[in-house]
């Protein structure tokens, strides 16, 4: 099993457009082989300006995660999301 925490900044005024991309992408990711959990979450306390978004993911294996990165819908996601987001950090972990 592989866990992923992907945290990214959504630029000020761009969250509504980003949510539309998520509405299209999330169901496609959840339908992927090996996807156990894929949940976009927003910080409870947002003080305005940019919004911090965190994806909480769980995959059956590293191979499933790698396949996820190469799907057409993730290529489209990256293309559409790029102008709407700033800094992104991704952490991939395995249970002990």
Per-residue pLDDT tens digits for 8-23? 999 989 999 999 999 9
Helix (H), strand (E) at residue 38 = strand 35-42
* CATH code, domain carrying 18: 3.30.70.100
Please tell me the total count of domains within the chain: 1
Residue 86, pLDDT > 80, answer yes
Residue-level pLDDT at 49: 62
Cα-Cα-Cα-Cα dihedral sign, residues 24, 29, 33, 35: negative
Task: Find tokens 């925490």 and name the residue.
Answer: 5
Give the residue from 37, 31, 90 showing the smallest Cα distance to 60: 37
Average pLDDT, stretch 68-91? 96
| Over residues 35-39, mean pLDDT | 98
Percent pLDDT > 70 in the chain is 95
Domain range holding 81? 2-93
């Amino acid at each position: 099993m592989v866990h992923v925490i992907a945290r990214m900044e959504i630029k000020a005024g761009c969250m509504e457009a980003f949510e539309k991309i998520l509405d299209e992408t999330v169901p496609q990711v959840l339908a992927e082989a090996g996807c156990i959990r894929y949940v976009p979450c927003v910080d409870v306390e947002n003080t305005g300006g940019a919004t911090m978004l965190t994806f909480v993911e769980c995959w059956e294996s590293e191979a499933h995660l790698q396949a996820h990165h190469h799907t057409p819908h993730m290529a489209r996601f990256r293309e559409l999301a790029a102008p709407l987001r700033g800094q992104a950090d991704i952490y991939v972990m395995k249970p002990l």
